[in-house]
Structure formats: structure tokens, C-alpha cells
Structure 1
Amino acid sequence: MLIECAVKHDVDPQRLFPEKDYPQRSPFSRDGDRIIHASAFRRLIGKTQVFIKPQSDHVRNRLTHTIEVSRASRQIATMLGLNAELAEAIALVHDMGHPPYGHIGENILDKILSDSGGFNHNVQALRVVTHLENPYPDFIGLNLSWYCLEGIIKHNGPFKTDIPAYVQEYNSKHDLLLNTYPSCEAQIASLADDIAYNCHDLQDGLRANLFSLNDISSISLVRQYRNKISANHPDISETHLSLSIIRKIFDYFISDLNHTSKKALDDAGLKSLEEVRNFQRDIISFSDEAKEHLKSIKSFLWINMYEKQVDMSKEDNPENVIMSVFKYFMTEIDALPNSWQKRISEGQEEKIRIICDYIAGMTEKFIYKTYKEKVQ
């Protein structure tokens, strides 16, 4: 049974384009199905999570990361008596706006679009599901429920100022209550992302030999679980030890988020979704202790992984690849697929945005292939 402030399964989905309901499935089950059948979702398999040109087939990409976040979101929502299908659907979209080459690619596109509203992967995710994906003859986009769209654009919190242009444009026809807090389900998706990428980036970094088990033992939570596991399994291999540590840390954050949020929900006594929206802070949160542990993991990863990846990426020069492909399409519009050519109708600024939309949807394999065939 769902708690009082959860989004209910039988709520009016408030889709932008009204559709017939299907009693066999909830609105949010339909949202999830539409997302995983979208071509942009499938292309996540060819996009960097952290590693550009990973040397191992076992490190994560955007798709595997998204699956892990969606499963964690569903688990947390279920434990808290919230709408698991909605939390899962929001999580499935959270990285669909990422371009090739991850945050490096995002920064390059943001530079290109600096005079046209910039580029942000969260805003692009909304743009993908409401404008760029067009598998249906009766409407533009995936026509997801209002609750899913609200969670996609507000999962990191409400908008107070500096609302991006596309968010304003979409909001003018489908009011997402931008200045209020999102549903508990959306808040879960955001924190499940934090849990997944911090834990699993540690695992992938170990696999890639960016750092060792001894290195990550400088993190207090790692050291704590290493000592406990080693005491119970004195002959454990280093591989099993590191995997066991990552699992324990993952479980720790899930458990902490569950207990802390359950207490906060009980203490606040929220009786409706409206009360969640008008609460003065996120109600779903970690304890102060867990926040400190999370901060220490992030700090370690930044120094020992993310900064190194920026240096390693210079060998492949993603900036040159993206900029060269962008300049090529700016002068060779006819080289774009016909469906993309038809989108360009409103002058130079619109042309730049559409070409960046096209590039943002590319996998790393495809953009490099385009670069080699069209530019070099």
C-alpha cells in the first residue's frame, strides 16, 4: 500500500496529448515502457559513463548505469511505500540527454551553444522525450505523464531563477510547477543516481587499474568494511574482497536513505503530494553521517579517476571530433538525414541547436565514424 504523500497509480496522468487509458497498466508502467523502447534509450549503450574507449567490456556505459539507477530507485521507493513504477521511469530518463564523451562532450556543446541558451544534459533529457523522439503518428515526443516529466526536469530540485529557454517553452504549454519541490519519487531517482555512480565508479576504477584496493582504503567507509570482511573471511581473494566491499557500501547507502527518509516522512506527517511540493526542503535524504561518507568517496574519485580521465581523453581529442563534425554539418546541411533537415526552419540559431541535438544523440562510435568519413 502506498503512503499518503505518494503519487497514486490511478491518478490522472495529465499527458500533454490526451490518450485512452489502459486498465491493465498504470500510467507510469506505460511511461517506463515508452522510455525503454525509445531509440535514444538504446543508444545509451554507446555512450561513456566515465571511460572513453574502455579497454574492458565489463566497465559501465550510460545504459548499464541507467539500469542500475532504475533498479535502486524502484527498491527504495518500494521500501518507503512510494510509487516504484514512477521512480523507476524517472530514473530511466535521467541520463538520456547525455551527449557522446560524457561531461566532456556536454561542455563542448555548451560552448557551441553559449549564445543560444547553452547545453545541459538534464534539459536535453526533457527535450529528447518531449520533442526529439517521434515514434508515434498522433503526437510529438513520447507523451509521458505530467508526473514523469516533472520528475525528469526537477529531480535535482525546484527552479527558482535562470530557467533554461527550452524548459520555459515546454512549461508554457504543460505547467510543471517549476518553483515547487518534486515528488518523493523524483527525489529518490536523484539520490539513487548518487549511490550508483559513486559505488560503481569505485568498482570500475579498480578494474581499470586506476587505483588499488589499498588506495581506496584511505576512504573510511571502505576501510571499515575491509576490516570486517577480512576478519570474517581471512583467506578471501582481493577480487572477492573488493566486490564485497562495494556491495556493502551500496547496501549501506540504500539502508541509510531508507531509514533517514522514513523517519523524516513520519516526523513531517505529510498527508498529500501537495504538501511534499510545498515542503521547504527535500524530504528524501541521507543522514549527515552518510553525506560525509559520500563526500569522501566523491573527493577520492575526482582526484584519482575523473581528473585522470580528462587527461586521458586528450589523446582522442573529443573536442576536435565534436567541433569538426559540428562545423561540417553547419556547411553541409544536405548531409543531415532528411528528417533532421526538415526540423531546421527558423534561421541560424535554430540551425545550430538542431545540429547540436543531432550530435548529442550520437554514440561515440557513430560520431567518430562520421568524423573519419566526412571530415578527415
Structure 2
Amino acid sequence: MNPLAPYACDPARSRGRRYPEPVAPTRTDYQRDRDRIVHSTAFRRLVYKTQVFLNHEGDMFRTRLTHSLEVAQLGRSIARSLGLNEDLVETIALAHDLGHTPFGHAGQDALNACMEGHGGFEHNLQSLRVVDHLEERYPAFDGLNLTFETREGILKHCSRANAELLQAREPGGVGQRFLLGQRPSLEAQLCNLADEIAYNAHDIDDGVRSGLLTLEQLQEVPLFERYRAQALVDHPALARAPRRLLYEAIRRMLSDQVYDVIDATRQALAQANPQQVDDVRAAPALVCFSAAMREQSLGLKRFLFRNLYRHPQVMATTARAQQVVRELFAAYLAQPAQMKPAFAARAQASDGDSARARVVADFIAGMTDRYAASEHARITGQQLLV
């Protein structure tokens, strides 16, 4: 690994774990966090959790697992050029979607609506719940007991109400920055942007593979069209190989975005001149696109929203997926014994309706797409997702 910049997170100066543990003899604390995440139950489930297309719709579409790996790869590449901690970037990237529900954002929205009046549902906060409480692998504590810096990066967004609850339970912990209006580490900021770069690119690929998007439609997107046109100039034969043309355009787009982030972030760092990690937290966001790339990236996001995420075929599946989540929630809330024994016992021992609802939300959020669909079919007798 390249030498760390002074504003990078150094595991030797970590703010530590909630439960003190001896230092590992051959791994840094961030490497140890990564290994705990990779071996967790929640990480394995990501292979059967959807991105845009539900898991049963095709074997070649991205899942939460493949997405997380792509974010980690992009993040490490950028971190290396900026002198940031690659291990921490990889760790946050691999963990950032652990709390996502089945059926992607459709499932999240449905579960949030079910939890109205019980504290709501935020997938970033759920990812933190997974690593802090829900994983059960160690004799002395719940969760994975990750470092502060990893947990800070996992909690990308948080409502003020939930930040206040976190601050009350853990003064000066991961909720504090949301109350003070501060930023996370550069490694966490980088994961946020690598996440955006990855899903924009792979949603183009999956959208075309599904037949819901065409290369002709994508020509109206300036960010993509630039690289498609360049690829054809350099390789005219790609006009007869649309799949190769798509891959080459996406490859060039990804490379340019990575270089843009590196250059724009170096300029922002030179202007802010942070000397340590705490200077980063007090500064504006420093890991960034250039203004021109940011505008073009937003244009691509708007295109995908209109033409892919709101495509009638996707919306029809979304509606059925949300029905599955809503009906599972109602069934488990009414009859907790329908859940797995450990969750049923937690629900029975819960103090009040909101505590019981949270147990049900934890159970549903941990489901894979296919398990949620099969549970719904078992309980209701309906096959909504085939």
C-alpha cells in the first residue's frame, strides 16, 4: 500500500471499537473489520438481494453483492491515487448495503411506510444495526464490534431524530456528525461517490441487457454519448457489435469519472489544506466530481430515473414487491410465531408495539428476494413474484 496522506484514516490512530479487543498480530483494525464483514451472514445474503431487477428475473443482472464488489474496486483505485486508506475504503464499500431490504428501494419504501409511527426505516441505519446488534457471532457482544471509522462510513445518511437517539446511546459516536453538520472521513466520502459511479454504470448495462433501454435512447445522454462516439471513431467495427460497443463506452465513462474524481478532489484538498482527519470532518465535502462532470452525472441519473427506474415493467414488479413486504409485515406483527424462532422470541419479549414492530422490520430487512417471496406465498397462498 502507498504511504498514507496525513488526512487519511490511520488504523494506528483509530477511535477504536465499542468493546476493547486485543490487536490482531497480522492485520490492521480495518483489515480485521473487512474480514468480519466478508464472513458475516448479512454479507452472504447480498448475493440474493436485488439492485434494479429482482433476483429471480435473471442470473446476469447485478445484485447487492456484485454492486458492493464494484464499489470496493472503484474505491480502492481512487484511494490509492489520493493516499487514502484502501483497506478502510474497501471495508466500508463491502458493508454499505448490508441493511438493504429485499426488492431494493421498493422494499425499503414499503417497509418505511409500515414502520410509520414506529421510528421509520432507513437502510443506512439498518446497516449499522446489522453490524452493531443483529449479527450474532461472538460470545462477549452482539454485532461485529467494528471500528468507529468503519461504522461512521456505513452510516451514510441519518435523520436528525435517529441521530439524536444514537447520540443518547453513544455520546460522541457515529450520530454526532449529523447533529453538528460535519462530514465523515475522506474514505467514507469516497465510498459515497464510488457507489454513485458504480450504480450509474451498471444500471446502464443491466437496463440494456434487460431490453428496457436501447443504445439509441442512450445517445440522448451527453455523458454516455461522448464515450460511445469516441469508441466508434477508434473502433469502427463496433458498429456491428452493439454489446462490445456498450461495454467499451461504459469502460471509458468509468475511467474518465475516476480520473475526474481524483483531479477534482486533489484541487479541493489543496484549497482546504487539511492536516489531519478531524480537519476533514470540519471542512466541506472534499471528495467530489468537477462541476462539469457532476452536471453530466446528474443528467445520467435523471435519464435512468425516467427511462429505467420508472419503466412500466419495473413499476409493475415494484408494486408486487411492495405488496409482499406490506403483507409480510402485517402477518408477522399479528402472529410473531410465523417468524424464525429467534425473532419470534424477541418479538414476544418486546416492550410495546414499536419494539415489536422493529423486530419484524429486522426480520424482513434481512430476507433475500426469494426468501421473502416464498414466505409470502407460504403465508398468503399467493404467488406474486415468479
Question: TM-score, length-normalised on structure 1?
Answer: 0.94
Q: In the TM superposition, what is the alpha-carbon distance from 1:330 to its structure 2 partner?
A: 1.8
Q: Given the alignment, which residue of 112, 117, 120 partners 1:118?
A: 120
Residue 357 (structure 1) aligns with: 362
Residue 374 (structure 1) aligns with: 379
Closer, same or farther: CA 170–361 of 1 in aligned 2, 3 Å: farther
Residue 151 (structure 1) aligns with: 153
Closer, same or farther: CA 40–296 of 1 in aligned 2, 3 Å: same
Q: In the TM superposition, what is the alpha-carbon distance from 1:48 to its structure 2 partner?
A: 1.0
Q: Given the alignment, which residue of 11, 20, 30 partners 1:28?
A: 30
Which string of whole-angstrom CA distances, capped at 9 and with x for unpartnered residues, describes residues 28-55 of structure 1? 0000111111101111111110012554
Q: In the TM superposition, what is the alpha-carbon distance from 1:233 to its structure 2 partner?
A: 1.0
Matched residues in 2 for 1:18 and 1:278: separation?
Answer: 27
* Aligned partner of residue 317 in structure 1, secondary structure: helix
Q: In the TM superposition, what is the alpha-carbon distance from 1:131 to its structure 2 partner?
A: 0.9
Contact kept in structure 1, 2:56 and 2:370, CA below 8 Å: no
Matched residues in 2 for 1:40 and 1:73: separation?
Answer: 21
Written as runs of structure 1 = structure 2, the 5 A alignment for 1:156-235 is 161-164=160-163, 167-168=166-167, 170-172=169-171, 174=173, 176-178=175-177, 179=180, 180-235=182-237
Residue 277 (structure 2) aligns with: 273
Q: In the TM superposition, what is the alpha-carbon distance from 1:166 to its structure 2 partner?
A: 5.3
**Structure 1: 5+ residue stretches without partners:** none
Aligned length: 371
Residue 90 (structure 1) aligns with: 92
Written as runs of structure 1 = structure 2, the 5 A alignment for 1:250-269 is 250-269=254-273
Contact kept in structure 2, 1:117 and 1:165, CA below 8 Å: no
Q: Given the alignment, which residue of 59, 68, 76 partners 1:66?
A: 68
* Aligned partner of residue 140 in structure 1, secondary structure: coil
Residue 52 (structure 1) aligns with: 54
1:305 correspondence with 2:304: no
Q: Identify the range of structure 1 (193-202 vs 206-215) with the bigger mean alpha-carbon deviation.
A: 206-215
Matched residues in 1 for 2:279 and 2:49: separation?
Answer: 38
Q: In the TM superposition, what is the alpha-carbon distance from 1:171 to its structure 2 partner?
A: 3.2
Q: In the TM superposition, what is the alpha-carbon distance from 1:287 to its structure 2 partner?
A: 0.3
Q: In the TM superposition, what is the alpha-carbon distance from 1:312 to its structure 2 partner?
A: 2.6
Amino acid at match of 1:353: R
Matched residues in 2 for 1:73 and 1:329: separation?
Answer: 39
Closer, same or farther: CA 356–52 of 1 in aligned 2, 3 Å: same
Matched residues in 2 for 1:333 and 1:296: separation?
Answer: 45
Alignment RMSD: 1.8
* Aligned partner of residue 343 in structure 1, secondary structure: helix
Matched residues in 1 for 2:65 and 2:165: separation?
Answer: 25
* Aligned partner of residue 369 in structure 1, secondary structure: helix
**Structure 2: 5+ residue stretches without partners:** 382-386
* Aligned partner of residue 342 in structure 1, secondary structure: helix
Q: In the TM superposition, what is the alpha-carbon distance from 1:290 to its structure 2 partner?
A: 0.6
Residue 326 (structure 2) aligns with: 323
Amino acid at match of 2:188: A
Contact kept in structure 2, 1:117 and 1:164, CA below 8 Å: no
Q: Identify the range of structure 1 (296-305 vs 333-342) with the bigger mean alpha-carbon deviation.
A: 333-342
Closer, same or farther: CA 141–160 of 1 in aligned 2, 3 Å: closer
Q: In the TM superposition, what is the alpha-carbon distance from 1:168 to its structure 2 partner?
A: 4.0
Residue 15 (structure 1) aligns with: 17
1:249 correspondence with 2:253: yes
Matched residues in 2 for 1:303 and 1:242: separation?
Answer: 20
Q: Identify the range of structure 1 (248-257 vs 366-375) with the bigger mean alpha-carbon deviation.
A: 366-375
Closer, same or farther: CA 169–132 of 1 in aligned 2, 3 Å: farther
Q: Identify the range of structure 1 (324-333 vs 136-145) with the bigger mean alpha-carbon deviation.
A: 324-333
Q: Identify the range of structure 1 (224-233 vs 79-88) with the bigger mean alpha-carbon deviation.
A: 224-233
Residue 38 (structure 1) aligns with: 40
Contact kept in structure 1, 2:167 and 2:176, CA below 8 Å: no
Closer, same or farther: CA 299–119 of 1 in aligned 2, 3 Å: same
Which string of whole-angstrom CA distances, capped at 9 and with x for unpartnered residues, describes residues 213-242 of structure 1? 111011112221122111111112111111
Closer, same or farther: CA 329–56 of 1 in aligned 2, 3 Å: closer
Q: Identify the range of structure 1 (258-267 vs 281-290) with the bigger mean alpha-carbon deviation.
A: 258-267
Closer, same or farther: CA 366–165 of 1 in aligned 2, 3 Å: farther
Q: In the TM superposition, what is the alpha-carbon distance from 1:93 to its structure 2 partner?
A: 1.3
Matched residues in 2 for 1:92 and 1:319: separation?
Answer: 26
Amino acid at match of 1:90: I
Q: In the TM superposition, what is the alpha-carbon distance from 1:266 to its structure 2 partner?
A: 2.1
Matched residues in 1 for 2:12 and 2:20: separation?
Answer: 15
Amino acid at match of 1:306: Y
